[in-house]
């Protein structure tokens, strides 16, 4: 399917678009029909107690992330993903963690308790919404343990070159942990190509799938280096050879599980993602893999630029970078007045045009998500509605 030529057909995959102009994907995505059907199928099998082969969700995840299946497990949300990484780290006094002042709270919150051990939290501070590689170079040193950032910032859509940042971090022996919630389904993710160490995201935003599931990636070379602080007995490989241990007369609830964990990313899986979510994850990733994330990213950026140019013509301040390589479909802007921004937000949402108000790091205002199912005509109508407010 061609994301440009077939946009009318694509829009049929999101039934809510008949009633709403959806510029809110950065907060939560519209329901994708394929996901809904997959979750219903899963529950249908459970209701009938019928045998069903689970979909190859990890296979689709590997394609989506450019990683191997052995490097991926499930997580239920980004906060859990950050905690999975922070629980692996033996941070010591004098070491530091680097992030940004635009990062989503979960990027920072899980690291704050380490300050009691003498660990420093360093933040790259934005300049009118911009942070570049030189800002990270000034902060990262040989005492940096982790760089904890979002690939795409949640307030203004600033998107980093993860390969460049990973290169800087690795020169100093630091790990890179990436919150990809605003990039997954928005721009291309390339775990192997970028060299990041950890990456995690939920499914409920740009991927339009259940909020109760997501992906967690760990570089394969690190799997044996770390052990999970949260251990799930189901990942003791020996206990489940030739069927589960509890199905055998000699089952011992200590001895059978007092063995090594599996040698894949699955050993970090906390067992919090249900089968219905996995079916939904598969349907979503299969859909986006089929479209091709390069195609989705290109359309998202083109729509965002169309909107940004219209906002500039109206005198709004756009906090999203204008350079193609440093942005996504997420656009942040302000009229210059908090009160006017609130009026725009209220008016648009009351007219079934869904946007958000978001602030961080001294910037913010209206956050809109130009997604591949949107059209230039939709964006022009939004601009026209906003113009009436701005011109009084």
What's the pLDDT at 392? 76
Q: How far apart are CA 184 and CA 172, in angstroms?
A: 28
What pTM did the predictor assign?
Answer: 0.96
359, β-bridge pairs: 364
What's the pLDDT at 51? 80
pLDDT digit string (tens) for 248-260? 999 999 999 999 9
Q: How far apart are CA 329 and CA 160, in angstroms?
A: 14
Looking only at Cα atoms, what is the longest distance across the chain? 80
How far lies 231's CA from each of 90, 258, 287, in Å?
17, 12, 33
What's the pLDDT at 242? 85
Question: Is the CATH code 3.90.1150.10 the one for domain 7-31+292-390?
Answer: yes
What's the pLDDT at 241? 86
What's the pLDDT at 382? 97
Which residues of the chain are under the pLDDT cut of 50?
Answer: none
* Residue-range domain boundaries for the chain: 7-31+292-390, 38-289
What's the pLDDT at 162? 97
Q: How far apart are CA 216 and CA 197, in angstroms?
A: 11
CATH architecture of 38-289: 3-Layer(aba) Sandwich (3.40)
What's the pLDDT at 145? 98
């Amino acid at each position: 399917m061609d994301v440009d030529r077939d946009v009318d057909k694509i829009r049929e995959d999101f039934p809510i678009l008949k009633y709403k102009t959806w510029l809110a994907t950065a907060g939560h995505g519209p329901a994708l029909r394929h996901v809904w059907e997959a979750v219903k199928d899963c529950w249908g099998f459970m209701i009938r107690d019928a045998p069903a082969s689970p979909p190859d969700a990890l296979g689709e995840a590997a394609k989506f992330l450019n990683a191997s299946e052995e490097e991926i497990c499930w997580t239920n949300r980004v906060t859990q993903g950050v905690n999975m990484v922070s629980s692996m780290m033996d941070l010591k006094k004098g070491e530091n963690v680097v992030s940004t002042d635009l990062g989503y709270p979960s990027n920072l919150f899980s690291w704050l308790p380490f300050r009691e051990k003498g660990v420093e939290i360093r933040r790259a501070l934005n300049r009118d919404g911009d942070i570049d590689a030189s800002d990270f170079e000034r902060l990262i040193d040989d005492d940096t343990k982790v760089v904890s950032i979002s690939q795409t910032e949640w307030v203004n859509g600033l998107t980093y070159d993860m390969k460049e940042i990973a290169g800087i971090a690795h020169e100093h022996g630091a790990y890179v942990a990436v919150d990809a919630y605003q990039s997954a389904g928005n721009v291309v993710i390339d775990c192997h190509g970028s060299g990041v160490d950890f990456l995690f995201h939920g499914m409920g935003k740009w991927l339009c799938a259940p909020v109760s599931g997501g992906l967690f990636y760990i570089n394969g070379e690190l799997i044996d280096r770390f052990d999970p602080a949260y251990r799930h007995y189901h990942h003791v490989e020996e206990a489940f050879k030739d069927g589960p241990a509890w199905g055998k007369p000699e089952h011992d609830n200590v001895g059978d599980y007092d063995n090594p964990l599996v040698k894949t990313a699955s050993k970090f899986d906390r067992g919090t993602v249900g089968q219905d979510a996995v079916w939904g994850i598969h349907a979503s990733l299969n859909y986006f893999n089929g479209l091709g994330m390069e195609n989705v990213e290109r359309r998202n950026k083109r729509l965002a630029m169309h909107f940004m140019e219209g906002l500039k013509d109206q005198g709004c301040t756009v906090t999203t970078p204008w350079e193609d390589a440093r942005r996504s479909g997420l656009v942040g802007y302000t009229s210059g007045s908090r009160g006017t921004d609130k009026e725009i937000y209220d008016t648009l949402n009351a007219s079934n045009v869904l946007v958000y108000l978001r602030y961080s790091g001294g910037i913010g205002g209206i956050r809109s998500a130009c997604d591949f199912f949107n059209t230039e005509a939709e964006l022009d109508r939004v601009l026209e509605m906003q113009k009436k407010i701005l011109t009084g």
